Chain A
Amino acid sequence: DAGVIQSPRHEVTEMGQEVTLRCKPISGHDYLFWYRQTMMRGLELLIYFNNNVPIDDSGMPEDRFSAKMPNASFSTLKIQPSEPRDSAVYFCASSLYRVNTEAFFGQGTRLTVV
């Protein structure tokens, strides 16, 4: 397995534009997490899914953020409209069977909103 795959690796967009980040979890993993990493706030959990169902989205900062997992092999995190303060590295991670096992992170997407 190639691990958790995120795309794009880097995204530069103008304020007000829609941004879509993509994630392919490791095959067979039934938990998927979206994290945001900034210098000021560290690693923040935005939302996580179990068996494609959103379980806790209390970390999603605003209504501008939305996440979907239409099937077991794909998830998206969308920001609409984007703002400069959304600039961060966004990580997707997946784990097998339960949360208290190793979470495998993707390479991350570095988002810059100008």
Chain B
Amino acid sequence: GENVEQHPSTLSVQEGDSAVIKCTYSDSASNYFPWYKQELGKRPQLIIDIRSNVGEKKDQRIAVTLNKTAKHFSLHITETQPEDSAVYFCAAINKETSYDKVIFGPGTSLSVIP
């Protein structure tokens, strides 16, 4: 089945710097890659997603890139702010079954230091 790996597991950056989180997936048939942000004690919420027919997508300070050949995708946060501190989860759709299944990576804990 699908396996999603995520690196790094923890990341600390200075406010204003950029942060990059990378994920790899195993199922070459996966075609949807969302990113969720979970603040401490709260629910995960979708922040951005990308489909396999697109190489890059941006939304203000966040962007996601996808390399289908290498089966990896990355989240980029520019001009980081303290409110970006959270756990970020990448996910990939497992198309092994006739119904899709969302498999999450283990998460990256991002700390933005003021």
- List residues of chain A with CB under 8 Å of any chain B CB: 33, 42-43, 45, 48, 50, 55-56, 91, 98-100, 102-103, 105-108
Contact = CB atoms under 8 A, between A and B. Distances in A.
Contacts of B100: 98-100
Q: Is the interface of B mostly helix, strand, loop or mixed?
A: strand
Interface in B4-62: 31-32, 34, 42-46, 49, 51
B46 A56 contact: no
B97 interface: yes
Contacts of B97: 55-56
Contacts of B44: 43, 91, 105
A106 B43 CA distance: 7
22 contacts: A42-B89, A42-B107, A43-B44, A43-B89, A45-B101, A48-B101, A50-B99, A55-B97, A56-B101, A91-B43, A99-B32, A99-B93, A99-B100, A100-B31, A100-B32, A100-B100, A102-B46, A102-B49, A103-B102, A105-B43, A105-B44, A107-B43
Given A56-B97, A107-B43, A45 B103 contact: yes
A42 B106 CA distance: 5
B73 interface: no
B42 to A, nearest CB: 8
Q: Which of A45, A98, A100, A108 has the most CB of B within 10 A?
A: A100
Nearest to A92: B43
A58 to B, nearest CB: 8
A41 B78 CA distance: 29
Contacts of A91: 43-44
Given A99-B93, A105-B45, A108-B43, A56 B103 contact: no
Contacts of B103: 45
Given A91-B44, A100-B93, A103-B46, A56 B99 contact: yes
